[in-house]
């Protein structure tokens, strides 16, 4: 008789070998066939899970884990799979057919996830099918071994079963890790990115000295690429070969057009300072960053295609199937909506959309900032919707006026006397006209504003608190946008169209 404990170990071994086999084959599949699909069952299940995440759960995950949400998903999946495999193994030790049947059902779920990825074809399920066949066979064998110990040496055979299962589990896990590492086939694309000679923009921007703070702890006016927040649904950063990249304009147009990366680089590029903001950013949060972007205005490509008058939206699509729905005016009016190829003077990093992404001033990223963009479908809001809209987010996503205190930090201790308070404020495409700070519930005091080279980017501010007295105090900030509208005090969560409310920090002032 196999005991449930032995069964559980057999289940773990079978699960690990299934996934190890599937992930190694999937890596080979990606490297050799260079298809666009997602043959890895782990990535496909994770991506399907992300797709099915309701707004409240996404909100919770981003609030709790921030940009480490993908790591959290990985840990959650590993724990879930461990429990499932051990459970099914234990069940199989008593009810063999049922256990093996359910093991196959879990395998089918993986195959279903693989083939339903937008970029996958049916053949992409091959690695998973092979993995499940190997794993099921192995589970049967391990259970047999436990069930029929040789009469002479029952104990020895049990020990041998445990050792074999343990060894196979380790092998399987190594296979999974190797598969993941191998399929990160980024090297060629990364090298291509570094070698790209960017055209010189016909309009260059420089950041005026007056926009930059000399206060060390103050937020940098330009956010460096490697500390720029990253938010997307891609469990593995898409590595797009610029030579094979095409951008198509389809839908309600006079004529469909398609351009290559080389053609895009030959157009007249401009530079623009634009602050991106994620709709999931909470009050005082850091899912916001400012960069100098270089690219070709989207309006020019749309003009080439000829937008039909009935169109009111552009559905931009990424290589991995993700979409954003942007109001057509935002892409055709005179703002700097760009097909961006560079960020702070470098080709776009892979994480931020190499080779080409959209950057649209004034709109949250989920309705505008498509990375790895491959298609612009000119359409209507009543005919199409972007990725997040059916998942509980508003179809329209203008950025709400916001302000943040960066100095001093929440819960900081500061010395009594003069205290410098500083931060940023943003109301993209409207600009910031005023920032005010309040201590405890006293009157609002105007902060000093640094220069604002463009209304499309954030504005730094500072205020000197003349006489901070010992004790606990509350600091609050609010901004007024370029239209004279004061930032709302109404507290709202990120879903469905962005958080609001005044950022508040608590400080302890200590006698000096």
Ligand X SMILES: Nc1nc2c(c(=O)[nH]1)N[C@H]1C(S)=C(S)[C@@H](COP(=O)(O)O)O[C@H]1N2
Site residues (vs Mo ion, CB under 5 A): 231, 278, 365-366
Partners of 287 in the beta sheet? Answer: none
Instruction: Find out whether the peptide bond into 408 is cis, omega within 30 degrees of 0.
Output: yes
Contact between 314 and ligand X (CB under 6 A)?
A: no
Strand runs labelled E in 363-430: 373-379, 402-407, 413-415, 417-426
CA gap 418, 24 in Å, rounded: 61
Q: Under rule CB under 6 A, which residues in 185-204 are in contact with ligand X?
A: none
How many residues belong to the chain? 512
Answer for which of 371, 400, 476, 478 binds ligand X (CB under 6 A) is 371
Q: Which residue is nearest to Mo ion, using beta carbons?
A: 278
User: Angle at Cα 399 formed by Cα 398 and Cα 402, nearest 5°?
Assistant: 155
CA gap 467, 359 in Å, rounded: 43
List, in order, residues 6 or more apart from 121 with CB less than 8 Å away. Answer: 35, 37, 115
Question: Cβ 340 to ligand X, closest distance in Å?
Answer: 10
Contact between 426 and ligand X (CB under 6 A)?
A: no
Contact between 365 and ligand X (CB under 6 A)?
A: yes
Partners of 432 in the beta sheet? Answer: 481
What six digits make up the tokens of 154?
């029952």
What six digits make up the tokens of 53?
């995440």
Closer residue to ligand X, CB minimum distance, 89 or 494: 494
Closer residue to ligand X, CB minimum distance, 92 or 318: 318
Answer for which of 269, 335, 352, 476 binds ligand X (CB under 6 A) is 352
Closer residue to ligand X, CB minimum distance, 322 or 465: 322
Closer residue to ligand X, CB minimum distance, 276 or 434: 276
Q: Under rule CB under 6 A, which residues in 231-260 are in contact with ligand X?
A: 231-234
Partners of 333 in the beta sheet? Answer: none
Question: Cβ 324 to ligand X, closest distance in Å?
Answer: 7
428 binds, among Mo ion, ligand X, none (CB under 5 to 8 A by kind): none
Answer for which of 276, 425, 439, 447 binds ligand X (CB under 6 A) is 276
List, in order, residues 6 or more apart from 272 with CB less than 8 Å away. Answer: 205, 292, 293, 336, 338, 359, 361, 454, 456
Contact between 366 and ligand X (CB under 6 A)?
A: yes
**In this chain, which stretch among 31-39, 76-84, 260-268, 361-369 interacts with ligand X, using CB under 6 A?**
361-369
Answer for which of 29, 103, 228, 296 binds ligand X (CB under 6 A) is 228
Question: Cβ 365 to ligand X, closest distance in Å?
Answer: 2
Answer for which of 21, 332, 370, 379 binds ligand X (CB under 6 A) is 370
Contact between 354 and ligand X (CB under 6 A)?
A: no
Number of residues that bind ligand X (CB under 6 A): 18
Taking CA atoms, 97 is separated from 85, 139, 255, 332, 485, in Å, by 15, 11, 59, 62, 68
Closer residue to Mo ion, CB minimum distance, 30 or 231: 231
Strand runs labelled E in 199-336: 246-251, 257-260, 270-277, 288-297, 313-318, 323-327
419 binds, among Mo ion, ligand X, none (CB under 5 to 8 A by kind): none
Which residues of the shown chain bind ligand X in the complex (CB under 6 A)?
228-234, 276, 278, 318, 322, 352, 365-366, 369-372
């Amino acid at each position: 008789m196999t005991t449930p404990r032995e069964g559980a170990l057999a289940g773990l071994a079978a699960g690990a070998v299934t996934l190890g086999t599937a992930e190694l084959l999937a890596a080979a599949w990606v490297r050799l066939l260079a298809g666009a699909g997602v043959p890895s069952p782990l990535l496909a299940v994770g991506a399907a899970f992300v797709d099915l995440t309701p707004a409240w759960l996404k909100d919770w995950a981003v609030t709790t884990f921030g940009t480490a949400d993908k790591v959290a998903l990985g840990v959650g999946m590993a724990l879930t799979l461990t429990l499932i495999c051990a459970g099914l193994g234990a069940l199989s030790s008593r009810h063999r057919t049922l256990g093996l049947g359910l093991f196959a059902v879990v395998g089918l779920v993986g195959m279903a996830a693989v083939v339903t990825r937008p970029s996958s074809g049916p053949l992409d399920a091959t690695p998973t099918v092979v993995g499940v066949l190997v794993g099921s066979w192995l589970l049967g064998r391990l259970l047999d071994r436990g069930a029929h110990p040789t009469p002479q040496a029952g104990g020895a055979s049990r020990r041998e079963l445990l050792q074999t299962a343990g060894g196979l589990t380790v092998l399987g896990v190594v296979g999974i890790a190797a598969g993941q590492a191998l399929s990160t086939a980024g090297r060629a694309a990364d090298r291509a990115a570094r070698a790209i000679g960017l055209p010189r923009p016909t309009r260059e921007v420089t950041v005026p000295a007056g926009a930059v703070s000399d206060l060390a702890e103050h937020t940098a006016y330009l956010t460096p690429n490697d500390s720029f927040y990253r938010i997307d649904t891609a469990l593995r950063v898409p590595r797009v070969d610029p030579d094979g990249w095409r951008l198509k304009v389809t839908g309600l147009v006079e004529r469909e057009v398609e351009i290559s990366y080389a053609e895009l680089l030959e157009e007249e590029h401009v530079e623009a300072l634009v602050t991106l903001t994620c709709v999931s950013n909470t009050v005082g949060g850091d899912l916001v960053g400012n960069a100098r972007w270089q690219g070709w205005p989207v309006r020019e490509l749309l003009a080439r295609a000829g937008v039909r008058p009935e169109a009111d939206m552009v559905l931009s699509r990424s290589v991995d199937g993700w979409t954003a729905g942007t109001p057509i005016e935002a892409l055709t009016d005179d703002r700097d909506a760009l097909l961006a190829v560079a960020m702070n003077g470098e080709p776009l990093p892979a994480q931020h959309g190499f080779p080409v992404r959209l950057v649209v001033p004034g709109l949250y990223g989920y309705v505008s900032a498509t990375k790895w963009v491959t298609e612009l479908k000119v359409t209507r809001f009543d005919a199409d919707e972007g990725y997040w809209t059916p998942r509980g987010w508003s179809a329209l996503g203008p950025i709400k006026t916001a302000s943040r205190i960066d100095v001093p930090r929440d819960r900081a201790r500061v010395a009594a006397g003069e205290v410098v308070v500083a931060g940023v404020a943003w109301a993209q495409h409207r600009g910031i006209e005023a920032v005010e700070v309040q201590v405890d519930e006293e009157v609002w005091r105007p902060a000093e504003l640094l220069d604002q080279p463009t209304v499309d980017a954030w504005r730094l501010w500072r205020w000197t608190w003349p006489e901070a007295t010992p004790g606990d105090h509350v600091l609050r900030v609010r901004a007024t946008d370029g239209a004279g509208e004061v930032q709302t005090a109404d507290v709202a969560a990120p879903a469905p169209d962005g958080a609001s409310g005044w950022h508040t920090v608590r400080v302890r002032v200590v006698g000096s």
